[in-house]
Structure 1
Amino acid sequence: MSGIGLSVLIVTYNAGADIDTCLRLLRASRIDRPYEVILVDNASGDGTPERVAREFPWVRLVAEAENHGFAGGNALALGLARGAAILLLNPDAFLRDPDAVATALAHLDAHPEVGAVGPRLTFPDGAHQVGDAGYEPRPLTVLVHAAGLSGRFGLRGLYLSGRQARAALRAGGAPLDVDWLCGAFLLLRREAVDSIGGLSSPMFLYGEDVDWGCRLRDAGWRVAYLPGIAVVHLQGGSQAGSGSTRSARWLDGLAAVYRLRNSGRRLASPAFFSAPLRVGFALRALAYGIAGRLRRRPDLTAKAGDMRRFAGHLRSLR
């Protein structure tokens, strides 16, 4: 890689204090090459751009008057970026390991066939965060995920399961080939980004990273999950945790990618996408609810609530 080694792209929208923590940890990271930070603020109303301009003058700030979404904001930042590698970093993704970026860059340097790498994402309590990587939304992966069989018998679901991540760690943290990586920390080779036409996406929020990863695989690039690197991700708010309440909006983005990837094929109907998942979430809600009461575990009770909400949200998909 030549020129500026790395461009870090951050998109904010009412990021609160998270962006302060994110930028301070980024600044403290041991990055072994020149880098720039470009932050696009999507018309925050909480003073985020003013605070960034005042407290982090080394960040190139682009304060927008309208919300362009995650993909739109990153596309704007990419147009200004000069790096041979591009790191998408969420404002609620915290580099507690100061060598995380350098280790990811080293893997990209050593493997020219790899277009993107991503770490193991964790909650603040250290629990693995399902959704940090996964496989192309196809009828089979939907069924595997709905049945709770991801990672069992060699089956691949929509998401890399906790058992798959743990197995990779036990095997020494060897990289895993996946179809997509979470955009909370997504390191891309600039050449690979250019090969898929940049960071545009039909999704406004949620699902863009799944779309990008699948398009990279279509273009012949490998997408590598690096379980040996851990990055804390609050997943939408400073109160997030392994048992916290989650928004169901991620299902809209995933359904949109499913339609895109299966257009013209059998079983491409949104009904096929939603029906198995509704059954799966309902069964998980029942199991978590019973376990939460028997074990007096509030975190399991919260997960049961999440599962019920996800199942209910899928009824609205058309």
Structure 2
Amino acid sequence: MAARIHVIVLHWGDPAVTASCLDSLRDLPESLAEVVVIDNGTPDRSGERLAESHARFTHLRHERNLGFAGGNNAAMRRALERGAEAVLLLNNDAELTPGALISLSAALEQPRVGLVNPKILHHDPPQTIWYAGGKHSLWAGHSRHRGRGESDQGQHDRAGEVTFVTGCALLIRREVLEQVGLFDESLFMYAEDLDLGLRARRAGWRLWYEPAATVLHREKVLRRKTVADPFRLRLATRNALRVNWRHASLPQRITFVPWFGLRWVLYLTVKNLLLGFPGDAAAVWRGVFDAVRGRTGSLESVH
């Protein structure tokens, strides 16, 4: 019998981190979930070692880095071909806690719920919130994680509809992918989750936050894509502009463009210059020019 849910883990980077993620999935019943590990073109071929240490799971490899969007899309197409009812995208630096997948899948039983996020806590320090629901405004071109950085005291334990879901740990109903499509691969990475959520909402699907499910995320509290990483900052800027412009109405474009210019472009330019990262400040502006010129795609096309 085919598994109801395909859990997709995209491997890139530290294999020890990915191994910890996979360890958290060992006890999932095979009748419920098939775990699919995608080696996204790692140059050290560390995916081969993961295939040996976690042989129970399905392991696939891309010969080149297809980005978050392309790497996950290939696995989602495979899941749909094999009759999966839903897919769970799980970052390789995230870990599923016991019972989380059951709680997430139960949320899909509600009318028109198409995409579901769990409560996501930092792995270290523990009990610190990374995501407890999300909100996006096309008027400001801005997404935010509710509760980010707060100590988890149960203050965000009410399930409910949200306007932004993160791809860090995201359960997606099959019918959503069939209706609105997969990730936009021209984005490569960053904002593909925002774009998919906006398309789903426009098609009448609800985005849902389910705090009964918990995931631990190994991203450092102080790590951000807004400093000390020009490439990520360039992509994040480009994609934020592209996705917001694509989905915004004319009145929303009139408000979000100046707001984005102040809150993102000017703020990050000044911030990175003051911190001594002129390359990062320049990356912000390169991202803006990439968006204006319509530059899309992979690592090679934006370097």
TM-score by length of 1: 0.74
Q: Say which SS state the counterpart of residue 102 (structure 1) adopts.
A: helix
Aligned position for 2:113:
114
- List gaps (5 residues or longer) in structure 1: 143-157, 236-240, 287-303
Q: Is the 8 A contact 2:100 2:213 kept in 1?
A: yes
Secondary structure at the residue paired with 1:118? Answer: strand
- Match in the other structure for 2:8: 9
User: Is the counterpart of residue 176 in structure 1 residue 155 in structure 2?
Assistant: no
- The more displaced of 211-220 and 222-231 is 222-231
Decide whether the 8 Å contact of 1:281 with 1:308 is kept in 2: no
Structure 2 gap ranges (5+): 290-303
Please point out which of 206, 213, 232 is paired with 2:197.
Answer: 213
Tell me the equivalent position of 2:301: none
Deviates more, 1:118-127 or 1:206-215: 118-127
Report the residue type matching 1:47 in the other structure.
Answer: R
Structure 1 residue 277 and structure 2 residue 261: aligned? no
Q: Which residue of 2 aligns with 1:148?
A: none
Equivalent position of 1:155 in the other structure? none
After superposition, the Cα gap between the structure-2 partners of 1:60 and 1:306, relative to the gap in structure 1 and judged at 3 Å, is: farther
State which of 165, 168, 187 in structure 2 corresponds to 1:203: 187
The alignment status of 1:91 with 2:92, answered yes or no, reads yes
Distance 1:5 1:188 in 2: 12
**Partner residue in 2 for 1:223:** 207
Local SS of the residue matching 2:144: coil
Task: Tell me the equivalent position of 2:294.
Answer: none
Which residue pairs with 1:57 in the alignment?
55
Contact kept in structure 1, 2:140 and 2:256, CA below 8 Å: no
Give the Cα–Cα distance (whole angstroms) in 1 for the partners of residues 71 and 52 of structure 2. Answer: 21
Summarize the Cα distance change of 1:198–1:168 in structure 2 as closer, same or farther, 3 Å threshold: farther
CA distance in 2, matches of 1:6, 1:234: 24
Match of 1:140 in 2: 140
* 1:1-318 matches, cutoff 5 A: 4-29=3-28, 33-81=31-79, 82=82, 83-95=84-96, 97-109=97-109, 111-124=110-123, 125=125, 126-129=127-130, 133-140=133-140, 142=142, 158-162=143-147, 169-170=154-155, 173-235=157-219, 241-244=220-223, 246=225, 247=229, 248=233, 249-262=235-248, 266-267=253-254, 272-278=259-265, 313-316=283-286, 317-318=288-289
Contact 2:128 2:150 in 1 (8 A): no
User: Offset at 1:242?
Assistant: 1.4
Cα pair distance change 1:45/1:32, threshold 3 Å: closer
Structure 2 distance, partners of 1:45, 1:164, is 34
Give the aligned residue type for 1:223.
Answer: L
TM-score, normalising length from structure 2? 0.77
> Whose strand fraction is larger, Structure 1's or Structure 2's?
2
User: 1-side partners of 2:134 and 2:242: how far apart?
Assistant: 16
CA 101–254 in structure 1, closer or farther in 2 if over 3 Å, else same: same
Aligned identity (percent) is 27
Name the SS for the 1:73 alignment partner.
Answer: helix
SS in 2 for 1:27: coil
Q: How much is the aligned-residue C-alpha RMSD, in angstroms? A: 3.3
